[in-house]
Structure 1
Amino acid sequence: MKPALSAKLLQSLASWRNAPAWHIAFSGGLDSTVLLHLLATLAKTESLPPLSAVHVHHGLQVAADVWPAHCQAVCDSLGVRLQIMRVQVQPGASVERAAREARYQAFIELAGPGSVLLTGQHRDDQAETLLFRLLRGAGVRGLAAMPVHRSLGEGRLVRPLLDVSRAELEAYAREQQLAWIEDPSNADPRFSRNYLRGHVLPLLTNRWPQAVNTLARTAEHLSEAQGLLDELAQMDLLAASAPSAFPWLSLPSLSLAPLCALSEARQRNALRYWLTSLTRLPDSNHWAGWNALRDAKCDAQPLWPLADGQLHRCADRIWWLPMAWSDFSDTPQGWLHPENPLQLPSNGHVYFTGQAPKGALSIRYRQGGEIMEVPGRGRRDLKRLLNESGLPGVVRGRLPLLYQGQQLLAVPNLPGLAVEAHGDWQLHWMPPTCDQGLS
């Protein structure tokens, strides 16, 4: 019969037994040391995915320089392969947050399709996280604390010890005579989490011995509530997710009218759900930006700047533009071989269907004041033609224009905006793609 902790761990990992690989985030501390030892021991009798460990070295303190060697020695003794990843922590107001972001970015780079990264957070960590976020004024999503599992790059992040107390981990470590690293920064009360761990939680548990279990259970209730809010958001987004009039434009977008028909609380809930995969979410003080965007006049084309991009309103639709959208070169490009697609720097590519027009061709971008000859309509101002098309204003600066000499010959993807020519041809533009949702 398996020890209780081993059985509990196997049960929590049952859904990921068929993963192509299990990577263990191994800091060398108590939690990850116990997790690594448990899994390495179970692998001798159980059919588990291939195990490996990863140690992220932040280089923030001199004491940490010896930790990779310790981790290597532990992994060698257990027969587990170790990968050491060195990261640069960006300076900022919160060293803890910057180190965490650097660490998880390294984990994302490591995670392959379907692979699982296992971390050692436990029940006491969950209680601490709930208190920390409560004091920061977090909403339901934040107070749900750490999920048992979530996506991580192309794989999953799993916390199989969230239902295990620190006392259980310490008892196992003593029984197995394990050695682990004590990070000296964990005793520094200047860090908020350390203050909660060293000063606040002991007071609470002295008065309420089950405080840690109760707080962790509260986080579970809030996680369930957040799941219901997510289901409501999915329902509310159905009507707003009708495709735009420009299917070739793969920017994420929503129809505004169905959102405006909801209560303000449901609007925010739906938008939080939609924005989660696109950007870090704003705090409650910044949601006034949504109200300003929503209530602006139809011709105002307002925007709401967020951490990783901008939300724009164009007529009756809102569009998400990631940071990468503004990074492109508007330098004119000569098109020497029109039978082949023309790659545009950071702006996708253009190509012809049918026989391309004869003569010297080039791609330019809007400067203002462009005029083109429209079949059956004569000379027309390009700005007015684009207004008639309804093309979102945020796209127009990147729209590649086809010139023959000094004549504006065609605008891609917009029906009717091409000069008549011998032969049947069309100009097409494939906008760029990126991992923030351009395609």
Structure 2
Amino acid sequence: MSQPMIDLPVRLLLNLKPWRNAKTWRIAFSGGLDSTVLLHLLANLAKTESLPALSAIHVHHGLQAVADTWPEHCQSVCDGLGVPLQVVHVQVQPGASLERAARDARYGAFIEATQINEVLLTAQHRDDQAETLLFRLLRGAGVRGLSGVPSQRPLGRGHLLRPLLDVSRAELEAYATEHQLRWIEDPSNQDHQFSRNYLRHQVLPVMTTRWPQAVASMARSAAHLSEARGLLDELAQIDLAHARTDSEFDWLGVPSLELSPIAKRSAARQRNAVSHWLAALTRLPDSDHWSGWEDLRDATGDARPVWRLADGELHRAGGRIWWLSSHWLRPALDVGRWADPSQALVLPGNGELEFTGQPPEGPLHIRYREGGEAMNLPDRGHRDLKRLLNERGVPGFVRGRLPLLYRGEQLLAVANLRGLNGNEQDGWNLHWQPPSEDQGLS
């Protein structure tokens, strides 16, 4: 049975209690029923409670003509409640799923707006949780997906909170009617071509006619699965702790794990650990695409297997798996002459290069490997560069990006590789700073 209406503000405050010291509570305000109730509840509570600063954010997608009037409506509601409103216009990227593209654009705006010690509040409720569970169940989701939408998670530099997940849509409607609230009815919410709308209007009503407690039961199942997911995450951390070993190539800034501690685990624990690690790096593959992991894991020692995923690639080299994305997947551009070796040299798409000590006499050029290069080493004579890189276990994905210092046709140094990166007698070394992920994305 639902809790008495009088409990709604009390429950909301209880759910938000851990976040009372935040700098700002920013409400994601679409103007629809759910977010209107959340905004009204918080604005009323702020009259009697000491709350963080309240503000609202409305994201305008521009996908339908009727939506052009919504920012004005939202401004009117916020003005009436004394809550400042920020309207953000976004461009929805075309793609197979309009729902997903709109969501991505919306959350992109939320991430940009959420600063340190700020929280974004969204108004998803118990019925939304049930719809999410059913939708993901029909798509064959695992425990991670079936745990539903979390009540809180990191967002941008702050946090996202969903404080109404234990409240039904009927309770929100009753509150809105009691307080004579005005809200927007989005016409697209009636369009049954969208899967969630079909579930909401065609499937769930039939289920709740037969099983009145279906929505509450599904929300409860999502909570159980969320707890199970937490246990799986703890197990993943245990397994990953053994694989997060140091590498002599940590200076690359490329996420990596030692393979053998993971490969010793059962297949299910391997998938659990790798999924947990990849979740922060890419959209995860469905179960049909995990054969790529097995191919990567089981490849022979001299192979260079690659597992291509949505947002990058997983490579195997030197007994480790390496996550490559953004600039690592694009070729480094030609550099040419280093006109002023006393200054750091920006390598297009490949970080920066500088000397420590007094640079050698020029003219100096920077090139990348093409094959067939050789170096003269003081103690070893003429040596093939490929063999030297093999001796040092340089991962294959790095070799084409390692800056090579030339004077004329003479290879003087290979950046960052001890014994190859300079001249001990003359006291100089060639230091390469690969681009960071942020540099690559920018």
TM-score (norm 1): 0.96
In structure 2, stretches of 5+ residues that fail to align are none
Q: For 1:233-256, what per-residue CA distance to the aligned partner results, in whole angstroms no more than 9, with x for missing partners? A: 000011111011223121000111
Q: CA–CA distance in 2 between the matches of 1:306 and 1:247?
A: 22
Structure 1 distance, partners of 2:245, 2:439, is 20
1:286 is aligned to 289
Residue matched to 2:73? 70
* Counterpart for residue 331 of structure 1: 334
The alignment of Structure 1 onto Structure 2 pairs a total of residues equal to: 437
8 A contact 2:344–2:353 mirrored in 1:
yes
* Contact 1:56 1:85 (C-alpha < 8 Å) held by counterparts: yes
Contact kept, 8 Å, 2:416 with 2:432, in 1: the verdict is yes
- Distance, in Å, in 2 between the alignment partners of 1:366 and 1:209 is 68
1:156, distance to aligned residue in structure 2 (A): 0.7
Give the deviation of 1:366 after TM superposition: 1.2
Pick closer, same or farther for the CA change 1:21–1:328 going to 2, 3 Å: farther
Whether the 8 Å contact between 2:421 and 2:431 is mirrored in structure 1 is: no
- CA 1:97–1:436 in 2, change beyond 3 Å: closer, same or farther? farther
- 2:304 is the alignment partner of 1:296: no
1:422 to partner: Cα distance: 4.5
Q: CA deviation at 1:423?
A: 2.0
Moved more, 113-122 or 346-355: 346-355
- Structure 1, unaligned stretches of length 5 or more? none
Give the secondary structure class of the aligned counterpart of 2:13. helix
Aligned-pair CA distance for 1:106: 1.1
- 1:183 Cα offset (Å): 0.8
Residue of structure 2 aligned with 1:423, choices 402, 423, 426: 426
Distance 1:157 1:324 in 2: 30
Moved >3 Å (runs of 4+): 418-422, 435-438
Given that residues 422 and 428 in structure 2 are in contact (C-alpha distance below 8 angstroms), is that contact kept between their aligned partners in structure 1? Answer: no
For 2:372 and 2:401, locate their aligned partners in 1 and report how far apart those are by CA, in whole Å: 16
Mean CA deviation greater in 332-341 or 311-320: 332-341
Is the partner of 1:362 in helix, strand or coil? strand
Deviation at 1:368? Answer: 1.5
Q: Which letter maps to 1:175?
A: E
SS at match of 1:13: helix
Shift of 1:34: 0.4
Give the equivalent residue in structure 1 for 2:205. Answer: 202
Match of 2:318 among 315, 319, 323: 315
Change (3 A) 1:269 1:287: same
Amino acid at match of 2:415: P
Q: Is the 8 A contact 1:303 1:311 kept in 2?
A: yes
Report deviation, 1:132.
Answer: 0.5
Q: Is structure 2 residue 184 aligned with structure 1 residue 178?
A: no
SS in 1 for 2:252: coil
User: 2-side partners of 1:419 and 1:205: how far apart?
Assistant: 74
1 CA distance for matches of 2:435 and 2:84? Answer: 39
Structure 2 CA distance for partners of 1:24 and 1:436, relative to 1, 3 Å:
farther
Q: State the alpha-carbon separation in 2 of the partners of residues 425 and 164 from structure 1.
A: 67
CA distance in 2, matches of 1:391, 1:105: 37
**Distance in 1 between residues matched to 2:317 and 2:84, nearest whole Å:** 53
Assess if the C-alpha contact under 8 Å between 2:326 and 2:437 holds in 1.
no
Cα separation, partners in 2 of 1:49 and 1:299, compared to 1, 3 Å: same
* Aligned twin of 1:263: 266
Name the CA distance, whole Å, in 2 between partners of 1:346 and 1:152: 28
For the aligned residue pairs, the C-alpha RMSD in angstroms reads 1.6
Q: 2:121 aligns with which of 107, 112, 118?
A: 118
Residue equivalent to 2:435: 432
Q: Which residue of 2 aligns with 1:235?
A: 238
Name the residue aligned to 1:152: 155
**Of the candidates 44, 49, 63, which is equivalent to residue 46 of structure 1?**
49
User: Which letter does structure 2 place at the counterpart of 1:205?
Assistant: T
- Residue 14 of structure 1 corresponds to which residue in structure 2? 17
In structure 2, relative to structure 1, the CA distance for the partners of 1:435 and 1:330 (3 Å cut) is closer
Aligned to 2:383: 380
What is the aligned partner in structure 1 of residue 372 from structure 2?
Answer: 369
* Whole-Å separation in 1 of the counterparts to 2:235 and 2:191: 42
Counterpart residue type for residue 123 of structure 2: G
State the distance in 2 between where 1:436 and 1:22 align. 31
Percent sequence identity over matched residues? 66
**In 2 relative to 1, CA 295–198 (structure 1 residues): closer, same or farther, beyond 3 Å?**
same
Distance 2:167 2:54 in 1: 21
CA distance, structure 1, for counterparts of residue 147 and residue 425 of structure 2: 64
Distance 2:362 2:193 in 1: 70
Q: For 2:340 and 2:424, locate their aligned partners in 1 and report how far apart those are by CA, in whole Å.
A: 18
In the TM superposition, residue 147 of structure 1 has moved relative to its aligned partner by: 0.2
Letter in 2 for 1:286: H
Tell me whether 1:346 sits opposite 2:349 in the alignment.
Answer: yes
Query: Could you list the per-position Cα deviations for residues 175-222 of structure 1 after superposition, in whole angstroms to 9, with x for gaps in the alignment?
Result: 111000111111111111111111111111111111111100000000
Q: Are 2:414 and 1:411 aligned?
A: yes
**Bigger mean CA offset, 258-267 vs 416-425:** 416-425
Q: What amino acid sits opposite 1:139 in the alignment?
A: G
Aligned AA (2:145): G
For the structure 1 residues 418 and 224, does the alpha-carbon distance in structure 2 shift closer, same or farther, using more than 3 Å as the test?
closer
Residue aligning to 1:94: 97
Residue aligned with 1:104, SS: helix
- Residues 1:36 and 2:39 aligned together: yes
The answer as to 2:106 corresponding to 1:107 is: no
What is the distance in 1 between the residues matched to 2:354 and 2:422? 16
For residues 102-152 of structure 1, the C-alpha deviation after alignment (integer angstroms, 9 at most, x for no partner) is: 111111111112211100000000011000000000000000010000111
Task: Specify the code of the residue in structure 1 equivalent to 2:147.
Answer: A
Contact 1:28-1:67 at 8 Å conserved across structures: yes
1:91 deviates by 1.5
Quick one: distance in 1 between partners of 2:67 and 2:433?
Answer: 48
Q: What secondary structure is seen at the aligned counterpart in 2 of 1:199?
A: helix
Tell whether the 8 Å contact from 1:299 to 1:315 is kept in structure 2 after alignment: no
Alpha-carbon distance in 1 for matches of 2:423, 2:160: 56
